[in-house]
Amino acid sequence: MFDVIVAGAGPAGAVAAMVLARGGTRVLLLDRARFPRDKLCGDTLNPGTVAVLTRLGVFGAIERQAAAVEGMIVTGEHGVTVRCAYGVGVRGYALLRRDLDVALIAAAVEAGVRMEEGVVVRGPLVDQGADGPVVRGVILAGADGKDVRVPAPLVIAADGRRSSLELPLGLTRHPERPRRWAVGAYFDGVTGVTSFGEMHVRRGRYVGVARVPSGAANVCAVVPRGTDLADPAAVLRRQIDRDAHLRERFTAATMIAPPVVLGPLAIDAVAAGAPGLLLAGDAAGFIDPMTGDGLRFAVRGGELAAEIALAALGEHLSVPHLHLARRRRREFSSKWRFNRSLRHLVDTGATVELAGLAAAIAPWILRRAIGFAGDVKAGG
């Protein structure tokens, strides 16, 4: 019998499982993938994410595989370019998502978590309580085609944007606007790539570029609804070729792996869970990747879910999903507002032009925004 089942072994799920196990809880961590696995991601930890992982005592193993990120370069309309260093002694880090996942899972297993890979979670195990449905565990796809029911007092859904645990309970929705898709791939031979991450913001779209430890560049274009995605490589090339800031830098570049498509991006959670179920990571709402803050939401959100679960198992609080909702609002509400504002700014061409002109006149405005997104005070 497990005290908590965590579905999804990405950063949110692995951190939640690790914190729970360190608290003396019997934890089962499940994922349909087998690790290491590749996943579309910006491959960058901002300073806020690094601070959480350092506090949890797991960053040392990650740092050995990572490359330092000194700050951000943001370009906009009208040729606006702002370079913002994080500051003395403050860094982000870049590493492949597959390596980050493996490191965090290893820390969870070392803490006592039981990890099962290649397991498909079909849905929540639900009882009808006096006040509505109560999650009592998970339903797994059995090897013989029959469902397997695994009970647990609490379940944490950290199984991504299309969570098989929360979708049946109606806990998330796609906002009507803005609707965008991400297309990402790795390139060799991109010139001008430095220890600064890059974000190139244009009307209705943007392109992120980040160097990974191998020296290759992670390139991700976020494009609007209506873009023909039948040929993702052509979409990515088109976004690069149409951009004066990027075109020449990719003249001799080669795509070293097939591109990956993800979307629609924005997903809003209408709750932080349900009786017996807590949400973490992308399952708790997927943010637009423009701010680079997604992994901080994941690792800190996983930690919050674990803290609430430990308190609930210790009978120190009831209705844990409502307590988690309050903790998440206190922790993330300012970042949520910031992210939504940026989403709508990019979606509106006239607003991007105005923002670009404002940044050209007063670049400190954009530096402050970069610092806020990275959880640091903007530097020079």
> Could you read off the pLDDT of 313-331 as tens digits, one per residue?
998 788 999 999 999 999 9
pLDDT at 108: 98
| Domains of the chain and any CATH numbers | 4-43+97-173+266-344 (3.50.50.60), 180-263 (3.30.70.2450)
pLDDT higher than threshold 70 for residue 33? yes
What average pLDDT does the chain have?
Answer: 87
Q: Mean pLDDT throughout 96-102?
A: 96
d(C-alpha 289, C-alpha 153), whole Å = 34
Low-confidence winner among 6-20, 40-54, 68-82, 194-208 (lowest mean pLDDT): 68-82
In sequence order, the β-bridge partners of residue 116 are 30
Place of tokens 């097939």: 258
Residue 351 has pLDDT above 50, yes or no: no
Better-predicted residue by pLDDT, 317 or 152: 152
Least confident of 34-43, 130-139, 172-181, 184-193: 172-181
Among 271, 250, 256, smallest CA distance to 325 is for: 271
Q: How far is CA 231 from CA 183, 236, 237, 261, in A?
A: 10, 9, 10, 10
Highest mean pLDDT among 74-78, 108-112, 162-166, 339-343: 108-112
Which is higher by pLDDT, 356 or 191? 191
**Which pTM does this prediction carry?**
0.90
Region 88-98 average pLDDT: 92
Q: Is the pLDDT confidence value at 361 over 60?
A: no
Q: What is the pLDDT of residue 350?
A: 45
